Amino acid sequence: MPMIQINDANIYYEDSAPNDNHKPVIVFAHGLLWSTKLYAKQVAYFKENYRCICFDFRGQGQSEVTDSGYDMDTLASDAIALIDKLNIKKCHFVGLSMGGFVGQRVAIKHPERLNSLILLETSADPEAPENAKKYNKLIMAIQWLGVKMVSKKIMPIMFGQTFLADKSRKAEYKKWKANLEANNKKGIVKATRGVIDRQGVYEQISEITTPTLVMVGYEDVATPYQKAERIHFAIEGSKLVVIDRAGHTSTIEEPLQVNQAIEQFLQALAK
């Protein structure tokens, strides 16, 4: 199991081509409650031409549950430290939801490390008060009852109605629900608090000059289209793509659309 110590935390990561220093690098940062598994279909699609690196944020997946360090600035520092330890000078950075909160901070603070920034289902603003209230209730339920007891309430936040209503994808639904339920309770509570309490970076993202692709699921209720459009308008030259039939987890719901949008964006950069 590949683990690397970063900022006093043991971080789990996967590297599709650890000995290849010639392929361009894509670093994938997952969303809250998920792990490297979130990007399985993206890695499978891109690994022939790119060195794909996924990692689990502290407290999630297979990474260590630390006592502290769950604020977005520390997580951005973790991401840069990972890139440093793997001797990667520059990369394409893909971040979904929480991974996007981190990606924006990396682009603001370390633009020299990025070839591009790809943001999915994310926001540049603090958590909306109505969402914070709802998510705080979920935290309390997780603390008292465990993730399994609230997973059915979390799934409609994470996935769009097209996916949820598709009987042919029932096995997938069960698989991802089981992944949610496998989360470490202590780690998830800490990670969720980090997301709820995060500061906004909207006033700073106009400084981002890194080529940027913004994507949002048409059915996303957690960070709807308006959030993506707001980022798109703030980052000069950015591209905005809407993923049909997808909610807050488009890499799982509509992987082909996501992969094609990323591929077209990266190919245009390479010209």
Helix 185-196 × helix 72-85 angle, to 10°: 110
- pLDDT over 90 for what percent of the chain? 90
CA dihedral 206, 268, 38, 158 (to 10 degrees): 60
Q: Which residues of 114-153 are buried (b: 16+ CB within 10 A; e: fewer)?
A: bbbbbbbbbbbbebeeebeeebeebbeebeeeebeebbee
pLDDT of residue 64: 97
Instruction: Please give the pLDDT value at position 1.
Output: 62
Q: Considering the chain, what is the average pLDDT of its residues?
A: 96
pLDDT of residue 229: 98
pLDDT of residue 133: 86
| Contact yes or no for 205/235 (Cβ under 8 A) | yes
Mean pLDDT lowest among 92-106, 139-153, 228-242? 139-153
pLDDT of residue 132: 86
Identify the residue whose tokens are 């245009």.
268
What is the average per-residue pLDDT within 26-43?
A: 97
| Pairing state between β 114-120 and 91-96 | parallel
Host domain of residue 109: 3-270
**Judging by DSSP bridges, how do beta strands 51-55 and 114-120 pair with one another?**
unpaired
Of 58, 124, 53, nearest in space to 93 by CA:
53
**If you ran DSSP here, which 8-state letter would residue 235 be given?**
S
Quote the percentage of the chain above a pLDDT of 70. Answer: 100
CATH code of 53's domain = 3.40.50.1820
The answer to whether 103 and 94 have CB atoms below 8 angstroms apart is yes
Q: Rounded mean pLDDT of 113-118?
A: 98
- State yes or no: pLDDT of 173 exceeds 70: yes
Q: What is the pLDDT of residue 141?
A: 86
Please give the full DSSP string across 31-68, using - where no structure is assigned. PTT--GGGGHHHHHHHTTTSEEEEEPPTTSTTS---SS
> What's the pLDDT tens digit per position in 40-59?
999 999 999 999 999 999 99
The confidence score (pLDDT) of residue 139 equals 87
Q: How many domains does the chain have?
A: 1
Sign of the C-alpha dihedral computed for residues 32, 79, 263 and 2 taken in this order: negative
